[in-house]
Amino acid sequence: MPAETASVSANAVSSHPTQGVATRPATTMPLPGNARAFRVTVISLLGLCVLAPILLIFYQSFLDGPFFTPASKLSLEAYRYILTDAMFYDALWNTVIMAAGMVIIAVPLGAGLAFLLTRTDVRFRKTLEVVVLVPMFISAIVLAFGYTVSVGPSGFITMLSRHIFGAAPWTLYSLTGIVIVTGLAHVPHVYLYVAAAMRNLPSDLEEAARSVGAPIWRVFLDVTMPMVLPALIFATALNLLVGFEMFGVPYVLGDPSGIVVLTTYVYKLTTLFGVPTYQLMAVVVVLLVLLTLPLVWYQRRLLRHGRRYAALGGKGPRTQVMRLGRTGQIIALSFVGLWLLVSVMLPIGGIVLRAFVDAWGQGVNPLEHLTVKHFGNLIEVPSLFRGIVNTVILSVVGGAAAVAIYLVIGLAGHRNQGFSNTLLDYMVLLPRAMPSLIVGLAFFWLFLFVPLLVPLRATLISLFAAYVIVGLSYGLRLLQGTLIQIGPDLEEAARTTGASIGQTWRDVVIPIVRPGLVGAWALIMIVFLRDYATGIYLMSAGTEVIGSLMVAQLQSGAMDTIAALAFVSILLTGVGLGLAFRLGAKIHD
């Protein structure tokens, strides 16, 4: 799910009104041409890795069969089928509703949360600042499965509610259910970006409003919000993008009641014809890319011109937080508590319970059926056990390698301007417009048909390569965010004493950003850990990963195993997050 991860990325930079560097007037840097060979090499290599899968999909969409069968001819038949298929428009409409619904839920809640945690004296602030980020790091498939288990039609809470009240007046397997789940889960994405913008605001305007007697909510609506409007717009664009790419939640929650969105429609096309119809899948992906491209473009523009909106720029005096008062504290904490209950406790609690019971439901007390046998499977069945090991290897080792790659790309774009940088920007953003399921499929083909890559297909390297592309935009934002913190004067100093750009990077830039790299590594680790879509087509015996194993098991309906895997995934994410915070990952300011 590139988009979701990507959405975090923007936040990483957001705190530093970055990329503004490009608009910063004349820092007298040496000519960028000095590292041209390096930049050109990196950008072309990246272009190859990014464009190969995209062009392959694009080409596939204009054929009437799989691109690799000789009988396939150029044809617009696939476009004709999709564009006249009623289900496609259904899926499109559902996608639009889902994305818009997400925005309507996540943006106000995220903004409110940001306001509480940056502009008021709400209690437990330090703890909350960490806890509110948790939903962002749980794999979407785990999250969706967690909701199924707790508040689905046969969920524990649903059962309890029916037992006590005689009814459970909600339907999880509906578009509303999907919208609420995804909306709540993406509150942190909005929070991060808006909070970063709010932290930079001086508090004098708010104080002025307070001094003439405005209640806090009025200050929030009439003073603070308008000042962070650009951040809100950005968060909205971001969430729309995420909504278009979402796969896990609609797949798990929409499937039982037949609700399709574009990404699940792609997946469904596989079974509809009994044999995979790649040309149809490719068409949907091409249309998806065309739909999301304007969002990507708009987002890039917002980032570029971010500084223009910073009306009240400059580091003001230390901001004065507003006092909430006793009632205010209670309201604020209940609001945060309720949200955490619904978006963290419900799904995770459900999974933890489900992983340890083997019977539940009407008239059955699950506590009488506690068991650890589902975990026995994870150890006994080699592929499941390998899945856990591989996931850890890919996250820890692969994460580190990915950071190294992102650093090289980041340096290629560092203090680079002009056309090649625009090119780089788009190349980084492009994969985000493709569902990672399809990125995985494209890489499967590349590793099958490109002779040089063939021996690597059944190794973790093929998965790693796909992961690097899927995590590209997030990873690069993290790295750029770190790189941009270095004042240009340090590099200039090195250059004036005769260092080459290479030496400057090696001896000045990299040592300075090292702590940032470690933090980035921890975050990339979590991103790789939570991925589930990339490996669906790509994994093979020996290269299983937890996330894709869960999707595979979902097809056969082995819920016991899924629950146990989800539990392990949550544990690993917890460890990763703990590590990230210990290593001082800059998730925000």
Partner 1 sequence: MTLTLKIAAIAATAAFSATSLAVAASEEMVAEANKEGAIAIYAATDLSQAQALLDAFTAKYPGIKIDYNDVGTNGVYNRVISEAAAKQVGGDLIWTSGVDQAVKLGADGYLTQYESPEVASLPSWAVYDKTVYATTLEPIGIIYNKTVLPEDQVPQTRAELAALFAKPEFSGKIGTFDPEKSGVGFMIQTNDSKQRDDYWTLAEAFGAAKGKTYAATGAMRETVVSGENAIAFNLIGSYALDWVKTTPNLGVAFTKDYTAAFSRTAAIVKDGPHPNAAKLFLDFMLSKEGQDAIASKGMPSLREDVDAGLNIKTLNELVGGNLKPMALDASRLEFMEPAKRLEFLKQWHAAVKG
Question: How far is Cα 98 from Cα 250, in angstroms, rounded to an integer?
Answer: 9
First to last CA, the chain: 25
Assess 231 for contact with partner 1 (CB under 8 A): no
Assess 445 for contact with partner 1 (CB under 8 A): yes
Residue 454: partners with Cβ closer than 8 Å, 6 or more residues away: 447, 448
Nearer to partner 1 (CB atom), residue 28 or residue 556: 556
Q: Of the candidates 449, 502, 511, 578, which one interacts with partner 1 according to CB under 8 A? A: 449
Assess 41 for contact with partner 1 (CB under 8 A): no
Assess 215 for contact with partner 1 (CB under 8 A): no
Q: Six-digit token pair at 365?
A: 């007390």
CB of 44 to partner 1, least distance (A): 26
Assess 52 for contact with partner 1 (CB under 8 A): no
Nearer to partner 1 (CB atom), residue 271 or residue 500: 271
How far does CA 312 lie from the centroid of its chain? Answer: 30
Stretch binding partner 1 (CB under 8 A), from 33-41, 66-74, 337-345, 391-399: 66-74
Amino acid occupying residue 258: G
Q: Given its phi and psi angles, is residue 63 left (phi above 0), alpha (psi -120 to 50 degrees) or beta?
A: beta
- Please write down the HEC assignment for all residues of 330-362: HHHHHHHHHHHHHHHHHHHHHHHHHHCECCCCC
* Distance set, CA 265 to CA 96, 270, 372, 445 (Å): 14, 9, 36, 21
CB 143 within 8 A of CB 181: yes
Nearer to partner 1 (CB atom), residue 491 or residue 544: 544
CB of 399 to partner 1, least distance (A): 26
Assess 176 for contact with partner 1 (CB under 8 A): no
CB of 66 to partner 1, least distance (A): 7
Assess 69 for contact with partner 1 (CB under 8 A): yes
Assess 64 for contact with partner 1 (CB under 8 A): no
Assess 485 for contact with partner 1 (CB under 8 A): no
CB of 367 to partner 1, least distance (A): 15
Assess 554 for contact with partner 1 (CB under 8 A): yes
Assess 84 for contact with partner 1 (CB under 8 A): no
Assess 537 for contact with partner 1 (CB under 8 A): yes
Assess 279 for contact with partner 1 (CB under 8 A): no
Assess 154 for contact with partner 1 (CB under 8 A): yes
- Please write down the HEC assignment for all residues of 546-574: HHHHHHHHHHHCCHHHHHHHHHHHHHHHH
Assess 166 for contact with partner 1 (CB under 8 A): no
Q: Six-digit token pair at 73?
A: 């001819």
What mask of x and - would describe binding to partner 1 in positions 457 to 476, judged by CB under 8 A?
xx------------------
* Counts for the chain of helices (H) and strands (E), in that order: 33, 0
Q: Of the candidates 398, 421, 292, which has an alpha carbon nearest to the alpha carbon of residue 6?
A: 292
CB of 258 to partner 1, least distance (A): 7
Question: How far is Cα 415 from Cα 490, in angstroms, rounded to an integer?
Answer: 13
CB 300 within 8 A of CB 425: yes
Long-range contacts of residues 303-309, Cβ cutoff 8 Å, at least 24 apart: 303/10, 303/13, 303/18, 303/19, 303/234, 304/19, 304/22, 304/23, 305/23, 306/17, 306/18, 306/19, 306/20, 306/230, 307/17, 307/20, 307/23, 308/23, 309/229, 309/230
Assess 255 for contact with partner 1 (CB under 8 A): yes
Nearer to partner 1 (CB atom), residue 19 or residue 158: 158
Nearer to partner 1 (CB atom), residue 558 or residue 575: 558
CB 522 within 8 A of CB 534: no
Q: Of the candidates 215, 226, 256, 511, which one interacts with partner 1 according to CB under 8 A? A: 256
Report the site for partner 1 in 317-356 (rule: CB under 8 A): none
CA 302, 307, 308, 311 dihedral sign is positive
Assess 165 for contact with partner 1 (CB under 8 A): no
Nearer to partner 1 (CB atom), residue 93 or residue 449: 449
Q: Of the candidates 271, 417, 422, 503, which one interacts with partner 1 according to CB under 8 A? A: 271
Nearer to partner 1 (CB atom), residue 224 or residue 553: 553
CB of 62 to partner 1, least distance (A): 18
What mask of x and - would describe binding to partner 1 in positions 355 to 384, judged by CB under 8 A?
---xxxxxxx------------x--xxxxx
Assess 418 for contact with partner 1 (CB under 8 A): no
Amino acid occupying residue 445: W
Cβ atoms < 10 Å from Cβ of 266: 23
Q: Of the candidates 559, 574, 583, 589, which one interacts with partner 1 according to CB under 8 A? A: 559
Nearer to partner 1 (CB atom), residue 383 or residue 417: 383
Amino acid occupying residue 471: G
What DSSP letter does each residue of 187-215 carry, written as one string? HHHHHHHHHHHHHTS-SHHHHHHHHTT--
Stretch binding partner 1 (CB under 8 A), from 239-247, 416-424, 535-543, 573-581: 535-543
Assess 557 for contact with partner 1 (CB under 8 A): yes
Number of residues that bind partner 1 (CB under 8 A): 52
Q: Of the candidates 481, 456, 304, 460, which has an alpha carbon nearest to the alpha carbon of residue 406?
A: 481
CB of 135 to partner 1, least distance (A): 24
CB of 544 to partner 1, least distance (A): 9
Q: What is the DSSP letter of 509?
A: I
CB 546 within 8 A of CB 359: no
Assess 258 for contact with partner 1 (CB under 8 A): yes
Question: How far is Cα 37 from Cα 502, in angstroms, rounded to an integer?
Answer: 11
Q: Is 405 helix (H, G, I), strand (E, B) or coil?
A: helix
Q: Of the candidates 131, 170, 268, 461, which one interacts with partner 1 according to CB under 8 A? A: 268
CB of 97 to partner 1, least distance (A): 21
Residue 210: partners with Cβ closer than 8 Å, 6 or more residues away: 216, 219, 322
Assess 448 for contact with partner 1 (CB under 8 A): yes
CB 108 within 8 A of CB 191: no
Cβ atoms < 10 Å from Cβ of 74: 9
Q: Of the candidates 208, 290, 330, 454, which one interacts with partner 1 according to CB under 8 A? A: 454
Question: How far is Cα 131 from Cα 344, in angstroms, rounded to an integer?
Answer: 9
Nearer to partner 1 (CB atom), residue 364 or residue 367: 364
Assess 507 for contact with partner 1 (CB under 8 A): no
Beta bridge partners of 120: 322
Task: Name the residues that contact partner 1, by CB under 8 A.
Answer: 66, 68-69, 153-155, 159, 255-258, 268, 270-276, 358-364, 377, 380-384, 444-445, 448-449, 454, 457-458, 537, 540-542, 552-559, 561
